[in-house]
Amino acid sequence: MLRQPPSKRPTAIFCFHDSMALDLLQAAHELGVSVPDQLSVIGFDDILPAANSIPPLTTIRQPLNLIGSRAAEILIGMIAGEVPRNHREVVPHEFVLRGSTAPPPT
Protein backbone atom coordinates (compact mmCIF):
# COMPACT_ATOMS: atom_id res chain seq x y z
CA MET A 1 0.00 0.00 0.00
CA LEU A 2 2.79 2.43 0.78
CA ARG A 3 4.32 1.95 -2.66
CA GLN A 4 1.19 3.43 -4.27
CA PRO A 5 1.31 7.01 -5.56
CA PRO A 6 0.37 9.51 -2.82
CA SER A 7 -3.11 10.01 -4.31
CA LYS A 8 -3.86 6.28 -3.90
CA ARG A 9 -2.17 5.66 -0.54
CA PRO A 10 -4.19 5.49 2.67
CA THR A 11 -3.88 8.53 4.92
CA ALA A 12 -4.15 6.43 8.12
CA ILE A 13 -3.64 2.83 9.20
CA PHE A 14 -4.83 1.27 12.46
CA CYS A 15 -2.72 -1.77 13.33
CA PHE A 16 -3.84 -4.84 15.28
CA HIS A 17 -0.98 -4.40 17.74
CA ASP A 18 1.91 -2.05 18.43
CA SER A 19 4.57 -4.41 17.06
CA MET A 20 2.88 -4.30 13.67
CA ALA A 21 2.54 -0.51 13.90
CA LEU A 22 6.25 -0.16 14.72
CA ASP A 23 7.10 -2.30 11.68
CA LEU A 24 4.84 -0.03 9.61
CA LEU A 25 6.67 3.06 10.89
CA GLN A 26 9.96 1.48 9.79
CA ALA A 27 8.57 0.56 6.36
CA ALA A 28 7.19 4.07 5.87
CA HIS A 29 10.56 5.54 6.77
CA GLU A 30 12.37 3.23 4.32
CA LEU A 31 9.92 4.18 1.53
CA GLY A 32 10.13 7.92 2.26
CA VAL A 33 6.53 8.19 3.48
CA SER A 34 6.39 10.86 6.16
CA VAL A 35 4.59 9.95 9.39
CA PRO A 36 2.40 11.76 10.38
CA ASP A 37 2.48 14.31 7.53
CA GLN A 38 1.50 11.80 4.82
CA LEU A 39 0.35 8.83 6.92
CA SER A 40 -1.06 8.50 10.43
CA VAL A 41 -0.32 5.25 12.28
CA ILE A 42 -2.12 3.93 15.37
CA GLY A 43 -1.26 0.77 17.28
CA PHE A 44 -2.90 -1.21 20.05
CA ASP A 45 -1.46 -2.34 23.43
CA ASP A 46 0.96 0.49 24.37
CA ILE A 47 4.06 -1.68 24.62
CA LEU A 48 7.20 0.00 25.99
CA PRO A 49 8.88 0.73 22.62
CA ALA A 50 5.78 2.62 21.41
CA ALA A 51 6.66 5.75 23.38
CA ASN A 52 10.27 5.67 22.19
CA SER A 53 9.71 5.14 18.47
CA ILE A 54 10.32 7.90 15.94
CA PRO A 55 7.80 9.39 15.84
CA PRO A 56 6.30 8.19 19.13
CA LEU A 57 3.41 5.83 18.37
CA THR A 58 -0.20 6.80 19.04
CA THR A 59 -1.86 3.74 20.54
CA ILE A 60 -4.69 2.28 22.58
CA ARG A 61 -3.65 1.26 26.10
CA GLN A 62 -5.48 -1.63 27.70
CA PRO A 63 -5.18 -2.82 31.31
CA LEU A 64 -3.38 -6.14 30.85
CA ASN A 65 -3.34 -6.99 34.56
CA LEU A 66 -7.10 -6.47 34.79
CA ILE A 67 -7.68 -8.52 31.65
CA GLY A 68 -5.63 -11.40 33.06
CA SER A 69 -7.31 -11.39 36.46
CA ARG A 70 -10.81 -11.07 34.97
CA ALA A 71 -10.09 -13.90 32.53
CA ALA A 72 -9.04 -16.16 35.41
CA GLU A 73 -12.13 -15.20 37.46
CA ILE A 74 -14.44 -15.81 34.50
CA LEU A 75 -12.83 -19.18 33.73
CA ILE A 76 -13.20 -20.28 37.35
CA GLY A 77 -16.82 -19.10 37.27
CA MET A 78 -17.49 -21.06 34.08
CA ILE A 79 -15.97 -24.21 35.55
CA ALA A 80 -18.15 -23.78 38.64
CA GLY A 81 -21.21 -23.18 36.46
CA GLU A 82 -21.69 -19.65 37.82
CA VAL A 83 -20.82 -17.78 34.62
CA PRO A 84 -22.52 -18.54 31.27
CA ARG A 85 -20.33 -19.75 28.42
CA ASN A 86 -21.28 -16.77 26.24
CA HIS A 87 -20.19 -14.22 28.89
CA ARG A 88 -18.67 -11.09 27.37
CA GLU A 89 -16.99 -8.22 29.08
CA VAL A 90 -15.48 -4.92 27.93
CA VAL A 91 -12.57 -3.56 29.92
CA PRO A 92 -11.70 0.13 30.07
CA HIS A 93 -9.12 1.35 27.59
CA GLU A 94 -7.30 4.61 26.97
CA PHE A 95 -6.38 6.46 23.79
CA VAL A 96 -2.73 7.56 24.05
CA LEU A 97 -2.11 10.42 21.61
CA ARG A 98 1.51 10.69 20.49
CA GLY A 99 3.34 11.90 17.40
CA SER A 100 2.36 9.32 14.77
CA THR A 101 -1.03 10.88 13.98
CA ALA A 102 -2.18 14.14 12.45
CA PRO A 103 -5.16 15.44 10.47
CA PRO A 104 -5.24 13.99 6.95
CA PRO A 105 -3.18 15.81 4.33
CA THR A 106 -5.09 18.18 2.09
Task: Please write the tens of the pLDDT for every residue from 10-22.
Answer: 999 999 999 999 9
Q: What is the pLDDT of residue 47?
A: 95
Q: Does 84 fall in a domain? A: no
- Considering the chain, what is the average pLDDT of its residues? 95
**44 - beta bridge partners?**
60
CATH code for the domain of 16: 3.40.50.2300
pLDDT of residue 14: 98
Predicted pLDDT of residue 54: 95
CA distances in angstroms from 93 to 16, 32, 61, 66, 96, listed in the order given:
15, 32, 6, 11, 10
Range of the domain at 53: 12-62+92-96
Residue 40 forms part of a structural domain: yes
Number of domains composing the chain: 1
Task: Identify whether 79 is part of a domain.
Answer: no
Q: Tell me the pLDDT band of 82, cut-offs 50, 70 and 90.
A: very high
- Has residue 105 got a pLDDT over 90? no
